[in-house]
Structure 1
Amino acid sequence: MTRSELRGFALAGGCAYAVDLALFGWLRGPLGWDPLTAKALSFVAGCSVAYAGNALGTYRQRAADGTRAVVRARLRVRQYAVFFAVNVAGAVVQLLCLTASHYGLGLTSPRADTVSGAVVGMALATCLRFWGTRTLVFAPEGRRTSWTG
């Protein structure tokens, strides 16, 4: 793991977090959506931003540069599917934090939902996402498993 890798992951994640948080706040606040639906939609938007940042930035050197365009396109689709699965696992962590706070503890204000889902949940989910992104999605060529490409 290099500092460059950590910086790139943090930058992509920071952009994704900003999209996730802003969209969640907008859907939950002015639009009045329920917290779980708002979180699910903001998650998908943030996940797409994070994948683009990692694939085109952080881990671009790990791409198979010498392969044909069709093979690269298939690899990207497969990578995105695995990336999305890793991020779904992270989202489950966030949703569990939000559910516990909102429905279990009765902390139902938009601020409490934001703290539980987008701060506490995000911090825990980030650890899982970093590990999964690094080891399952963008593993170095020699360490790739057959199902990740």
Structure 2
Amino acid sequence: MTVVETVLARVPAPLRAVLIKHRELLKFAIVGGTTFLIDNGIWYLLKLTVLESKPITAKAIAIIVATIASYVLNREWSFRTRGGRERHHEAALFFLISAGGVVINLIPPYVSRYVFDLEVPHVSRLVQEVADFASGSIIGMLLAMFFRFWGFKKWVFPDELGRRRRGDDLTEEGSAKEDEADTEELGRELGHA
């Protein structure tokens, strides 16, 4: 039994059905949480050491490293049944959408630091760090996350290519039948069908 199956076995049936129905979004959120930790770990490591005077550069480097991890995890786990493009084409689209996400992610901390002057010596070190975290790791990350999820589903890992790759029916009815079959199969595996 996989980790996901073990966790789902402990979730109440009504919530389990919702989680299974929205499994791509759930997986995307888990990948996002993982890359959130990577991003912030690298950002704070850099901005509190070698790039202390360049917090936006430190954030950009951290986002790039987290984006590479995100590509691997999303391709191999979150959207593994989607896509179907040649890998180099898919990767180019992924990193193009992610570049848009990087720009979106950097706008709030840039505004915080250089428009609102929420940096030392204008404010205390604590206020600066709280403002950096709120603007870069919460607001910027959430805006970028919504943009990326939409872009990845629409262009990088489109459903119709995934269905073609698997040889499944492309109709709405085929899609609904596939989702229903996946839910029933997982339920049987968990002993709850």
TM-score, normalisation: structure 1: 0.82
Q: Does 1:46 align with 2:46?
A: no
Cα displacement string for residues 35-91 of structure 1 (whole angstroms, at most 9, x for unaligned residues): 111011001111011111110001112254xxxxxxx7xx12211111111111111
Moved over 4 A (4+): none
Q: Does 1:78 align with 2:89?
A: yes
- Are the counterparts in 1 of residues 31 and 74 from structure 2 also a CA contact under 8 Å? yes
Taking the aligned partners of 1:117 and 1:110, their CA distance within structure 2 comes to: 10
The amino acid of 1:95's aligned partner reads L
Aligned counterpart, 1:136: 155
Cα displacement string for residues 101-126 of structure 1 (whole angstroms, at most 9, x for unaligned residues): 10000112233222211111111111
Taking the aligned partners of 2:69 and 2:53, their CA distance within structure 1 comes to: 22
* Corresponding residue to 1:26 among 29, 33, 45: 45
Aligned counterpart, 1:117: 136
Q: Does 1:5 align with 2:47?
A: no
- Are the counterparts in 1 of residues 39 and 65 from structure 2 also a CA contact under 8 Å? yes
Long gaps (5+) in structure 2: 1-20, 120-127, 163-193
Aligned counterpart, 1:69: none
TM-score, normalisation: structure 2: 0.64
Aligned counterpart, 1:58: 78
Q: Secondary structure, in 3 states, of the residue corresponding to 2:57? A: helix
- What is the aligned-residue identity percentage? 32
Aligned counterpart, 1:146: none
**Alpha carbon RMSD of aligned pairs, Å?**
1.9
Change (3 A) 1:134 1:63: closer
The amino acid of 1:45's aligned partner reads V
- Are the counterparts in 2 of residues 13 and 50 from structure 1 also a CA contact under 8 Å? yes
Change (3 A) 1:111 1:29: farther
- Are the counterparts in 2 of residues 98 and 117 from structure 1 also a CA contact under 8 Å? yes
The amino acid of 1:54's aligned partner reads N
